[in-house]
Structure 1
Amino acid sequence: MKKSVLLSSLLLTANVLITAAQPSQKMTPELLWKLGRFGSGIITPDEKNIIYSVSTYNMGLNKAEPNLFSVPVTGGPVQQLTNEPGSKAILKIDALTGRVTYWYDGRIWQMDSDGGNLAMLTVNQQDDFDNIRISPDGKKIMYTRDVQIQKVLGKDRYADLPKATAYVITDLNYRHWDTWSTGKFSHVFLADYDNGKISNEKDIMHGEAFDTPQKPAGGLEDLIFSPDSKQVLYVCKKKSGKDYAQSTNTGLYQYTIATDETRELTQGMNGYDTQPSFSHDGNRLAWLSMKEDGYEADKNDIIIKDIKTGIKVNLTAKWDESISSFTFSKDDSKIYFIAVHNGTEQLFSVDVKKPSPSGESIVQITKGQWDVTSIIGQSGNQLLVTRTDMNHAAEIYSVNLPGGNMHKLSDINDKAYNKLMTSRVDERHIKTTDGKDMLAWVIYPPDFDPTKKYPTLLYCQGGPQSALSQFYSFRWNFQLMAAQGYIVIAPNRRGMPGHGVEWNREISGDWGGQPIQDYLSAIDDIAKEPFVDKERLGCVGASYGGYSVYMLAGVHEGRFKTFIAHDGLFDLKSWYGTTEELWFANKDIGGNYWDKSNMRAQRSYSKFNPSNYVDKWNTPIMIIQGGKDYRVPIEQGLQAFQAAQLRGIKSKLIYLPDENHWVLKPQNAILWQREFFDWLKETL
């Protein structure tokens, strides 16, 4: 009897403990913005540790606070190395002493690999330095800095008018992404370096009116030293004006330090050429390359060049996917790369020394419902990477080679996620109206009960050729949406990479055609489920996804009860007249609107123009517009809101005057998410 009572007591206690340990919180906007965000990482020369950066957000200061951490490559306790506000970038780790040289607060600093013995090497603050690299031999330093080349501002053109605010513009491209051109260009500088001392700097671009890195999103990957420290390679689009606005033809340029000479390595290659990388022995150069000028979403291939012979080989020519990033193996026999494949980003390898023209030498290493988002480097038979899924932000993992087994190393957000209920994420296959198979992700509320009915959101991805994989967004966060009680369906409609090159290409020139039908197929398919409330369907999206929302608002035939469009294209004519990267509009829309003989373009401006369907709008819509968005400029959101208001449709405008195509400021982001869910509660 006593044993039975004792056993019951123990079982009851155990059950209480188990229950208490179960995650009970749901994701909120505030919790989401407390998460740490992985920045970049580097393996120490002894291959024992990874030093990496993590940013957390200070809501009071409305900005990020990055710091450096260390974790053993075999797993173990994480150590925080720095604890000061302000961005930090690792420049070099000494192979003999293990001392870490890094950039912080406009100066060069050094510390031991455990964060001890901190020393400031440079006294003078250099706030205008960016994209800094120290040469492999430690004798040179490279950085970028803006240089005034042209006089665009009135005060620069007329010395007696110092308060003039006018811009004098005679050609394209007069603004880009979120910045107006002031006549300054980002140039690569090279200088002598001696333990923190910088001297004898030289502009290796010799005053040219071109930018390195590429604007708006280029970075440190655009400029590298050769392994012998004798040369600098940089990526640049050496075009100006209208040619610049209509071309994606970036080139790789090689600057020889001893002779002060520059030559292009990619002549005759007409698309994007990016991410140059030398093999460890310096005998090969590899980079990513697209063929077609003006097609920013073309297939990205790995090109490798033998330095001695000059022979170039396309390692992935026959492979039916596009590469995101890559790195050489330690012995230079393989290249490891990341590519989207069947709705996830995975790790692959390709043989360098014996490439197969038909693609048989490409091997998939990892498989699973996650994204491999970056490659940090290799230690022995382990490849160190970062990984996300729709329930987890990026963490560091080791990948066993060649098997692909993965082991988690970092603990950036473990404390938060241990308390959070996660969402079930299912892969769903849907037949499209033209009889093809389309993958869609379905994300369920964390406490999903199939006997209940749930409001459901159709998520429309932007790009239009951006991957809809297992990414973890800090704004369009599926975990957050599901936690508010919504089922989310996110289809890999026409135009998504990861399903073959042809599927990816099919959206160009057909924005309002089959891709919109794919969206309708997705919502109709999920609406068949008994747990979906067919009277409470919503549709949300940004950029091309915002365009899709505007388009669907005119053709949905009563399916949806509410819409949310962020920075969407509403009127294609006015958009063509104000957007900046015209190569994108020329490729995807078909060209300008005044050439009546261009039937492809005329089809877009008539049949696929959302503003032409406003007479059929009859559903509440919330419109979000960034004031500094020059990709999809302000008139797009304002026109859509004004049309909805004049049509008498319940509508709301969220105007973010100091945000671009994205929402980057933390407090604006919290506001964005609060308004997003308030609108859904009110209308759905």
Structure 2
Amino acid sequence: MRQANLIMMSAAMLLAACGGTKDAGKTDQVLIEKSDIKIEGKRMTPEALWAMGRIGGFAVSPDGKKIAYTVAYYSVPENKSNREVFVMNADGSENQQITHTPYQENEVTWIKGGTKLAFLSNDNGSSQLYEMNPDGSGRKQLTNYDGDIEGYSISPDGKKLLFISQVKTKESTVDKYPDLPKATGIIVTDLMYKHWDEWVTTAPHPFVADFDGNGISNIVDILNDEPYESPMKPWGGIEQLAWNMTSDKVAYTCRKKTGLEYAISTNSDIYIYDLNTKKTENITEENKGYDTNPQYSPDGKYIAWQSMERDGYEADLNRLFIMNLETGEKRFVSKAFESNVDAFVWGADAKVIYFTGVWHGESQIYALDLANDSVKAITSGMYDYEGVALFGDKLIAKRHSMSMGDEIYSVALNGSTTQLTQENKQIYDQLEMGKVEGRWMKTTDGKQMLTWVIYPPQFDPNKKYPTLLFCEGGPQSPVSQFWSYRWNFQIMAANDYIIVAPNRRGLPGFGVEWNEQISGDYGGQCMKDYFTAIDEMAKEPYVDKDRLGCVGASFGGFSVYWLAGHHDKRFKAFIAHDGIFNMEMQYLETEEKWFANWDMGGAYWEKQNPVAQRTFANSPHLFVEKWDTPILCIHGEKDYRILANQAMAAFDAAVMRGVPAELLIYPDENHWVLKPQNGVLWQRTFFEWLDKWVKKAPSK
């Protein structure tokens, strides 16, 4: 996972975990509803995590009096989920579930002046647009498009529908050889033939159609059959497209490249398509990095978007730009905030932009005054906010922490908050959570590093506890107040482990220098930061320094493999999930080559490139002769970001070295574990390994 994609990922993960829409039909649907789980012992369990409802998107009615939102419910026995729609008053009262179906209602919005709710559902096996009354009655299908509708936005005047659907961009083997209809071979002639977890044969395109309130007509492909993506894979959605206020133009995000050019470049742009002239204008051509997520101002005079400066650097500072649509003047307005601008929304008067951003391990809501480009924090506390939107004279957002999953909050501009949903109250009431605290530690180069420490419930400082070092992925993803359904710190604490989670070098929220230091230095200062965190905590009398473990995923998995060859017997066991073991192979195997070029410093065959040579000299596989500690390797075979052979090679190396090892392979999972039974298996295997080699290790 990488910071540039966090916002898009949250929606994509939920859709994927819910089973998507492409393979869903009426015959295999099961109604899954809110769990009434009973928990013994007040400790978090895998079953408790999967029993939780997961709040998705939300929408405020035009009059500001109602809020609609979705919740996904999971069934471990059925190994699937479905999503339902809820409506509540603006103060959280009279909260009602208005759908009770086995389908996937999602992307809920208010239409027709707030008299109807629009949403996507797969009632008939494909994802189409529906409407219903705010009480759930009057369900009606509005589209019958040939393909799946993956996202949509109705124009401000209500007369047009902008929607996303896949178009075929690659010739298949059967296209080339019609007499071989059962052939399974795939012929590849250029790069980007795989992306994230799929073989690339299609691209998402934005379409505009006339909408009369009952159906669509006169459908136009804005990209006019070009072989490009808009929104961009793998996580882009409707947030990458925007209507102007007069409903005659659409701004869209696109990287107009294919094959090798696509694989090595992050240079996407914001284009404006004129529905009347059919002409397209690139408004960000001079910028060479990512330009994404356009939003028009309410007065129609400006457009805002997120922008990264450098081509190929996907973890570059995510800046907020605005452009005067009359003069063409562009302005970098978020200079005062030395971290990434994540979700954002225009204020009603177009004089302020509200956004979320990570600073010092917390994602807060900020107000950016466009009169002087000053930035002021609205919220505070040990929380992460996301998905901010206008809510009358307030804001509305989801909020979570290391001790609680997403709930919806209203946020006054003075920072006071009101919790509007209590989706999992019946579960939290049965649980005792461990304390979370932040500690600042002095690093080996004299800087200060924030480290989160999570303690077991009923923590007793007079006892000694086994302790885990958590290694974050990304490598530029923040250790903020995140809530995960796999890497959940509270379930680790519930198993009587202390968790040490440092914001080591390379993580956003501590300034540009801190964030950028990691590129080209994977085996350097960030590893020293890990040692600082665990060594400082090991000085505490309640930390059993003879029972330490080390766990992590993605870059965190790389960290585990690297630390296994350098830890000087600090740890009793390791767990690496989807980690990089052999850097030379990773350079060639990963699909997004821009990332490898930037973060590794170049190709391993560039012998005169000192940065690249330092990177590859620190490949974990080169230090296997020093491995002496039990290791569990986990990987998904549909992970095309880091291929599963990395884990297999690490496991084989450990076994051949005589090191106790275990391999957990998922043939049907990608970089994340999304299916309920696989998630429970992950948790059980995780703790069985740690309990065997760490918790039950002899203490001196």
Q: In 2, Cα distance between the equivalents of 1:368 and 1:123?
A: 44
In the other structure, the counterpart of 2:400 is 388
- The 3-state SS of whatever aligns with 1:555 is coil
Tell me how far 1:180 sits from its aligned partner. 1.2
Q: Is the 8 A contact 1:73 1:379 kept in 2?
A: no
In the other structure, the counterpart of 1:146 is 166
Q: In 2, Cα distance between the equivalents of 1:398 and 1:220?
A: 23
Pairing partner for 1:161 from 156, 180, 197: 180
Q: Is the 8 A contact 1:63 1:666 kept in 2?
A: yes
Q: Is structure 2 residue 385 aligned with structure 1 residue 372? A: yes
**Aligned AA (2:101):** E
Aligned residues between the structures = 652
Q: Is the 8 A contact 2:579 2:642 kept in 1?
A: yes
Alpha-carbon spacing, 1:535–1:238, altered in 2? closer, same or farther (3 Å): same
Tell me how far 1:125 sits from its aligned partner. 6.7
Tell me how far 1:646 sits from its aligned partner. 0.2
Tell me how far 1:27 sits from its aligned partner. 0.4
In the other structure, the counterpart of 2:200 is 181
Q: Is the 8 A contact 2:109 2:118 kept in 1?
A: yes
Tell me how far 1:398 sits from its aligned partner. 1.1
- The 3-state SS of whatever aligns with 1:33 is helix
Tell me how far 1:97 sits from its aligned partner. 5.4
Tell me how far 1:96 sits from its aligned partner. 4.0
In the other structure, the counterpart of 1:46 is 63
Tell me how far 1:441 sits from its aligned partner. 0.3
- The 3-state SS of whatever aligns with 1:429 is strand
- The 3-state SS of whatever aligns with 1:323 is coil
Q: Is the 8 A contact 2:51 2:74 kept in 1?
A: yes
**Aligned AA (1:575):** Q
In the other structure, the counterpart of 2:362 is 344
In the other structure, the counterpart of 1:407 is 418
Q: Percent identity?
A: 47
Greater Cα shift, 253-262 or 92-101 = 92-101
Q: Which runs of 5+ in 1 are unaligned?
A: 1-21
User: After the TM superposition, which residues 542-557 of structure 1 pair with which residues of structure 2 at under 5 Å, given as runs?
Assistant: 542-557=553-568
**Aligned AA (2:423):** I
Q: In 1, Cα distance between the equivalents of 2:177 and 2:576?
A: 43
Tell me how far 1:23 sits from its aligned partner. 9.9
- The 3-state SS of whatever aligns with 2:532 is helix
Q: In 2, Cα distance between the equivalents of 1:348 and 1:378?
A: 15
**Aligned AA (1:462):** G
Tell me how far 1:149 sits from its aligned partner. 2.8
Tell me how far 1:92 sits from its aligned partner. 4.2
In the other structure, the counterpart of 2:220 is 202
Q: In 1, Cα distance between the equivalents of 2:396 and 2:285?
A: 34
In the other structure, the counterpart of 2:33 is none
Q: Is the 8 A contact 1:536 1:561 kept in 2?
A: yes
Pairing partner for 2:429 from 418, 430, 436: 418
In the other structure, the counterpart of 1:589 is 600
Pairing partner for 1:274 from 277, 292, 301: 292
TM-score of the superposed pair, with normalisation by structure 1: 0.93
Pairing partner for 1:36 from 53, 56, 59: 53
Q: In 2, Cα distance between the equivalents of 1:395 and 1:97?
A: 23
Q: In 1, Cα distance between the equivalents of 2:63 and 2:471?
A: 46
Q: Is the 8 A contact 1:287 1:302 kept in 2?
A: yes
Q: Is the 8 A contact 1:78 1:411 kept in 2?
A: no
In the other structure, the counterpart of 1:455 is 466
- The 3-state SS of whatever aligns with 1:584 is helix
Q: In 1, Cα distance between the equivalents of 2:637 and 2:668?
A: 6
Tell me how far 1:111 sits from its aligned partner. 2.3
Pairing partner for 2:328 from 303, 310, 330: 310
Pairing partner for 1:66 from 83, 108, 114: 83
Q: Is the 8 A contact 1:91 1:133 kept in 2?
A: no
Tell me how far 1:24 sits from its aligned partner. 5.1
**Aligned AA (2:472):** Q
**Aligned AA (1:173):** M
Cα deviation code 1:553-593 (max 9, x no counterpart): 00000100000000000010011111111111111111111
Q: Is the 8 A contact 2:50 2:75 kept in 1?
A: no
- The 3-state SS of whatever aligns with 1:145 is strand
Tell me how far 1:136 sits from its aligned partner. 1.6
Greater Cα shift, 252-261 or 533-542 = 252-261
Alpha-carbon spacing, 1:443–1:673, altered in 2? closer, same or farther (3 Å): same
In the other structure, the counterpart of 1:128 is 148
Alpha-carbon spacing, 1:671–1:243, altered in 2? closer, same or farther (3 Å): same
Q: In 1, Cα distance between the equivalents of 2:146 and 2:58?
A: 24
Q: Is the 8 A contact 2:63 2:114 kept in 1?
A: no
Q: In 1, Cα distance between the equivalents of 2:406 and 2:465?
A: 29
Cα deviation code 1:80-101 (max 9, x no counterpart): 1111122223464246452222
Q: Is the 8 A contact 2:553 2:579 kept in 1?
A: yes
Task: Determine which structure has more spread, i.e. the larger CA radius of gyration.
Answer: 1
Q: In 2, Cα distance between the equivalents of 1:441 and 1:478?
A: 10
- The 3-state SS of whatever aligns with 1:536 is strand
Greater Cα shift, 188-197 or 473-482 = 188-197
Q: In 2, Cα distance between the equivalents of 1:86 and 1:377?
A: 29
Alpha-carbon spacing, 1:257–1:118, altered in 2? closer, same or farther (3 Å): same
Tell me how far 1:121 sits from its aligned partner. 3.7
TM-score of the superposed pair, with normalisation by structure 2: 0.91
Pairing partner for 2:341 from 323, 331, 336: 323
Tell me how far 1:74 sits from its aligned partner. 2.3
Alpha-carbon spacing, 1:558–1:123, altered in 2? closer, same or farther (3 Å): closer
Q: Which runs of 5+ in 2 are unaligned?
A: 1-38, 695-700
Q: Is the 8 A contact 2:466 2:496 kept in 1?
A: yes
- RMSD in angstroms over aligned alpha carbons? 1.5
**Aligned AA (1:372):** Y
Tell me how far 1:150 sits from its aligned partner. 2.8
Q: Is structure 2 residue 496 aligned with structure 1 residue 485? A: yes
Q: In 2, Cα distance between the equivalents of 1:35 and 1:508?
A: 37
In the other structure, the counterpart of 2:245 is 227
**Aligned AA (2:152):** I
Q: In 2, Cα distance between the equivalents of 1:90 and 1:128?
A: 14
Q: In 2, Cα distance between the equivalents of 1:73 and 1:501?
A: 39
